[in-house]
Structure 1
Amino acid sequence: MSGERSQIIEDEIFILRDSGEIPEIALHATLHYLTEDPDGPGLSLHPEEYHALLDAAAARFRDIVLRDLEPSNRDLSIYRGIARTIINFHRFKSFCQRTGHDWGSFPDLLRDRLVHFLENELEEVGRGERASSVNCTVETLEGFLVELEMDPALLPEGWEQLCLSPEHE
C-alpha cells in the first residue's frame, strides 16, 4: 500500500494544484475523499501528507492572486484585474490564518509583481497601446498597499492616473 498510498496522495496534490478558483474548497473535497468518502481510500493522513496537500492548495492560491498581475493575461478571459487580485489576496490571507500555513515571502513577491504590473501598464497606456486595465480606485489600491505594508513611493510615478474614478468602481 505504501507505493499506492504515495501515488494516491501525489494524484490529489496534482488535482489541488490545478484546481479551480477556490483552492480551499478543493482541499476540503480532497481531504474528504482521502479520509471519509466511502468510495475513497479511507486513509488516516500522516502530518507530512496533510501538509503536502495544504502546500498544494496554498500554491494554487498564490497562482490565482498573481494571475491578474501578469500583463500577458490582460486580454485573456481569465483576467479580472487588480480588484480581483485584492479579493483573492484576502481569501489567501484568511486561508493561511485558518490553517496556520506560513506564506513565507509571498507578500514580497506580490509587492514586486504589483510594481512591475503598474510600470508596464503606465508604459503601454502612455504609448497609446491600450486603455488602462486597472479596475479599482486610488483609494482601494492605497488600502491594499497598507495591507501589504508597502510604501506608495515604491510605485511608479503617475500610477494614480491608471485607476478608476470613485464613481466608476
Structure 2
Amino acid sequence: MSIKKEVLNEAEFIKYEGGEIPEVYFWSSYFYLTEPPPKGLGLNLTQEEILLLKKAVIGRYLQIIKRDLTPENIEKSFYRGISRAIVNLKRLEKFIKNEGLEEDYKFCLEKIEKWFKIFKAKRPDFQPEKLKELEKKLKKSL
C-alpha cells in the first residue's frame, strides 16, 4: 500500500523540525491530516501511515539525543547537555511503551549506547555525575 504524499511530508517535518518534544508535532500532524476542512485535510490514515508518523517521532528523539551525545557539539549554542539526553531518553522510552513499539526500543538503545561510548571515550571528565546517571539508565534499559 502506498503512503500519501501529505503523510510523508508530515513525517519528514516531525523528524527534522519536530522540536524538543516531537509527540506534540505528531499530534499536530495527525489532527491536521485527519480533521475535516477547513481545519485539516480530512484524510483517512491507514495503520501503516500512522506508524510512519510514530517512527518519525522516534527518529526525531534519536536526533536530539545524538546531538547531546556528540562531543563536538559541546561548545555550540544548540547543545543542551547530558541532562537533556537523559530526559529525552526517558521521553523516548515512554513514547515507545505508550505506542506499543517496544521492538523499536532495543534498536534505539543500541544506537544510543554507541553514541554514549564514543562521548565517554572522548570526554570522560565532562559532567561525570550525569555520565554515570546516563550509563546506569542505559544498563537498566538494556
Q: TM-score, normalised by structure 2?
A: 0.85
What are structure 1's unaligned runs of at least 5 residues?
A: 123-131, 151-169
Q: What residue in structure 2 maps to residue 29 of structure 1? A: 28
Q: Does 1:20 align with 2:22?
A: no
Counterpart of 1:85, as a letter, is A
Residues 1:37 and 1:64: Cα distance change in structure 2 (over 3 Å): farther
Which residue of the partner structure matches residue 135 of structure 1? 127
Contact kept in structure 1, 2:69 and 2:116, CA below 8 Å: yes
Asked whether the equivalents of residues 83 and 135 of structure 1 are also in contact (C-alpha less than 8 Å), the reply is no
Q: SS state of the match for residue 118, structure 2?
A: helix
How far apart, CA to CA, are the structure 1 residues paired with 2:110 and 2:75? 26
CA offsets 1:53-108 (integer angstroms, 9 cap, x no match)? 11111100111111111112111111111111111111111111111123232212
Alpha-carbon separation, structure 2, partners of 1:58 and 1:68? 16
User: Structure 1 residue 94 and structure 2 residue 94: aligned?
Assistant: yes
After superposition, the CA RMSD in angstroms is 2.1
- Name the count of aligned residue pairs: 136
1:121 aligns with 2:119: no
Map 1:1-169 to 2 at 5 A: 6-18=4-16, 19-36=18-35, 38=37, 39-101=39-101, 102-122=104-124, 134-135=126-127, 137=129, 140-149=130-139
Larger RCO, structures 1/2 (Cα 8 Å, 6+ apart): 2
Q: Unpaired runs of 5+ in structure 2?
A: none
* Cα contact 1:86–1:144 (8 A) shared by 2: yes
Contact residue 107 and residue 148 of structure 1 kept, 8 A? yes
The 8 Å contact of residues 69 and 119 in structure 2, kept in 1 or not, is answered as yes
Which amino acid is 1:26 matched to?
Y
- Distance in 1 (CA, whole Å) between partners of 2:85 and 2:98 is 20
Q: Distance in 1 between matches of 2:98 and 2:65?
A: 18
Alignment identity in percent? 30
Q: Offset at 1:146? A: 2.8
Give the aligned partner of residue 156 of structure 1: none
TM-score by length of 1: 0.72
Higher helix share: 2
Q: Secondary structure at the match of 1:78?
A: coil
* Partner Cα distance (2:92, 2:64) in 1: 9
CA distance in 1, matches of 2:115, 2:8: 30
